[in-house]
Structure 1
Amino acid sequence: MRTFRALAAALVVAALVALPAGPAAAHGGKVKLTVAGDGAGGVTVMAVYADGHRLDQLVRLTLTAEGEGGRTAGPVQIEPSGEGQGFYSSGPLLSPGDWRVTVSAPAPYRSTATAQVQARVAQSPSPVAAERPAAETREAGAGWWRWPAGGLAVVVVAGSALLWWRRRTHPGPGEPVGLDG
């Protein structure tokens, strides 16, 4: 029993020594931030650990921006976007023009990135592009009845086969019984 306790204690100590202080410590403690415009008035950021691995923790990134004529935006905390781990998006934030955008990550990550971003007015889809999805939706919805009809056909065929098999193996009253002989 004493040997078991000593072994268990040694395993606990080894695990505590082997475990890093946190995700940042496992990757050197820094993140690399890549800042870019989103094509309209927003900013996107890709954050990875300095060693190139994907960011697997939520980091509270802060954005500030300086524009032409003394315009400023922020500080604003930007949110993770739906593109995947380590992708962040500000949403519409900047008015049209050239901006110097700085994004920073707090401790334990301690990282800052700056980029020139040209904000533009968001483009609306052209009437032709707006009509195309509607036409495609109509065409895609035209065959909705095929799935229920196919299911009904499968049920009818399976039911008919089952009734035929039952009638063949278990004749009803008044039906001749096949004699082998």
Structure 2
Amino acid sequence: MNYQSLAIPEIGLITPRVFSDERGFFMESFNHREFEAAIGRPVQFVQDNHSRSCQGVLRGLHYQLKKPQGKLVRVTRGEVFDVAVDLRRSSPTFGQWLGVFLNEENQQMLWIPPGFAHGFYVTSREADLQYKCTEYYAPHDEHCIRWDDSNIAIEWPTLDRQPVLSNKDELGLSLKVASHY
């Protein structure tokens, strides 16, 4: 696997080695030893999640404050624009965002460590997003920042209509009033 630190150095883009031929392909989608060596610290994943969403759905920006989750995100069908926002007050990149396109063709994965909000927007007709979490989901601890918060100013892909949001995401708070790490 090839690990590349991005503009926010703690976030990494992982490109797996893919072996393709006329039959299809094979790839190792996760190797614990190589992953820990790449990020430079021990990590234990405790939960795997799978989300299917239709085009135009925007999920996020979600985070857990008392039980923060690190996430290793990949798309196995379709395409999403995946976003992480730094919510660590002590960080020089506090309030900054980073976004990448993850899709079934590039087969890349995004490592988002604890301390970040996460969200994604589906750009294909449908998308399956799968992610490993370093902490269990705690619904009582979940928080949400508005996807369109002008304090963060995420440059989402061209939206020709209002994104499809859950009730929870419609009630997201601005970065200025939301709780941070």
Higher strand share: 2
Which range, TM-score by smaller chain? under 0.3
Larger radius of gyration between Structure 1 and Structure 2: 1
Higher relative contact order (CA 8 A, sep 6+): 2
TM-score, with length taken from structure 2? 0.25
TM-score, with length taken from structure 1? 0.25
Higher helix share: 1
